[in-house]
Each structure stands twice: as C-alpha cells, then as structure tokens.
Amino acid sequence: MPNSRPIIGISAGFDYSENRLFINNGYIEAIRLAGGLPVLLPVTNDTELLKHIIGRFDGFLLSGGSDVDARFWGEPNYTFGGEISPLRDEPELFIAREAIAADKPILGICRGCQVMNIAMGGTIYQDIYAQQVGKEIYKHSQNAPKWYPTHDIFIEKDTKVFKAHQEEIIRVNSFHHQAVKDVAPGFIVSSRCGDGIVESIEHISCKFAVGVQWHPELMWEKDNTYLKIFVKFVALCK
C-alpha cells in the first residue's frame, strides 16, 4: 500500500504510583499531522518482543521525561541528579541501539536525545550547572509557558536539522538540567545554544537518527515551523 502511513513507535512516561503510561498529546498529534501512524510502545524488558517491534515498526520517537540512571555511562548518581525511571531506561536504550543498527529512522526529544547518545557510547552531564563550574550557563529550565521559545540555537549547515528548518538560527523552548557531554561515536553536534550546550546531535551515516534537546511537540500548535522536524522524520520513515 504505497499511501499507507508509516508506523511510528513512541516511548511514553511511566507513573509508578498509578502503574500507568502517560504521554503529552503533542507528540501523538505531531506524528499524525506529519503523516505517520503513532503507536505507544510498551514498557518492557522482553528482548524478543522489542526485537519484534524493531522489525515491524517503521520509525521510533523517544520522548522526553526523567533522568537516565548514570550507571549506563559508567558514573555514580550524584546528588544533583533528578528522578530516574528504571522501567524506561533499558528498553529505550535497546530500541535506540537496534534502530540505529537497522537504520530505522529515530527521533529523540530531550531525554530521548540523551538516551540515543548514551546508547551509542556517549556521555551526558548529570547537571549542566553543577558540572560547568565557572561558566555562564543560560536558563535551560524556563519559567515561561511551555510553548514559548526562550533562547536561540545555532544550527550547522548541511545537517538534517538544518535541512528540516532551512535556518541557521531558530529560537526554542528549554526544559532540562542535563545535556550531551561526550558525543557518541558516529554522531556529530548539529546545533548548540549560545552558551555552548549541545542542542542537537545526529548520526553521520543513518538516514535519520537525530536527537534534539528542545521540545517541538510543545511548540508546533503556536508556530507550525516546529512541526518541520517531525515532517522530515516521518518522510524518511516511509
């Protein structure tokens, strides 16, 4: 069926007190409007099921959320770390590795960007303010409406993020205290904030393996320019 929508698996948050999945509807609607069929992924460590999902789905979106356990890049969890979600960490790291190995398109947003980098051998700052001592860091956990862009990012030309937006500078929202530190082998930094913090990464040989630190799913309803990254992603899933 040449006009069928590609199936996009979306990782969800997990509420431990209520034993339930949750997701911001902005992710779902962005994929739908971009031409994809959004499907929530299960929270499971069943490797055989996850391999089946990799084979059946056309692309993957790793959503934002809590911190990743620092043990996955060989560090202790320091006091300035935040809440971690053990039921999410292993399956999402597995999906990132397998999707990239199979050249299945994958988009990581905020936590999802960090998951992709960790999965492929990179590291992250557990807290950009505590671990960048003596450096003036921008406000990356904004006190403003979630859709409101609060700082510029500077995009490298000839990258997938640039090809999606066709702009060298765009303004984005910001809700994180962690960020990519050592970029994983095979990846490049495709944009940075004015303070030097990594704002997006992408794999140099995959058709689409991109992580962005901002939250376009919270912005596109106010300004559809932020739908462009989803459109580029879904187009390459077809």
DSSP per residue over 20-79, as a string? Answer: EEE--HHHHHHHHHTT-EEEEPP----HHHHHHHHHH-SEEEE---SBPPGGGGT----T
Q: Is 126 among the domain residues?
A: yes
Q: Is 112 among the domain residues?
A: yes
Q: Is 124 among the domain residues?
A: yes
Q: Is 2 among the domain residues?
A: no
Give the separation between CA 200 and CA 216, rounded to whole angstroms: 12
Q: Is the pLDDT of residue 197 over 50?
A: yes
Q: Is 58 among the domain residues?
A: yes
CATH number of the structural domain spanning residue 65: 3.40.50.880
- With cut-offs at 50, 70 and 90, classify the pLDDT of residue 134: confident
Number of domains in the chain: 1
> What is the domain range of residue 220?
7-235
Q: Is the pLDDT of residue 40 over 90?
A: yes
Q: Is 129 among the domain residues?
A: yes
Sign of CA dihedral 196, 192, 206, 58: positive
Phi, psi of 121 (to 5 degrees): 105, 10
- In this prediction, residue 2 carries a pLDDT of 54
Phi, psi of 15 (to 5 degrees): -95, 110
Strand 13-15 versus strand 20-22 pairing type: antiparallel
What crossing angle do the helices spanning 111-119 and 86-101 adopt, rounded to 10°? 60
Q: Is 46 among the domain residues?
A: yes
Q: Report the candidate in 81, 9, 1, 63 with the shortest Cα–Cα distance to residue 40.
A: 9
Q: Is 35 among the domain residues?
A: yes
Phi, psi of 126 (to 5 degrees): -70, -30
Would the pTM of this model clear 0.75, i.e. be above it? yes
Q: Is the pLDDT of residue 1 over 50?
A: no
Burial of 19 (0-12, 13-18, 19+ CB in 10 A): exposed
Q: Which two tokens stand for residue 194?
A: 């004015």
The vertex-66 CA angle with 62 and 69, nearest 5°, equals: 95
pLDDT per residue over 43-83, tens digit each? 999 999 999 999 999 999 999 999 999 999 999 999 998 99
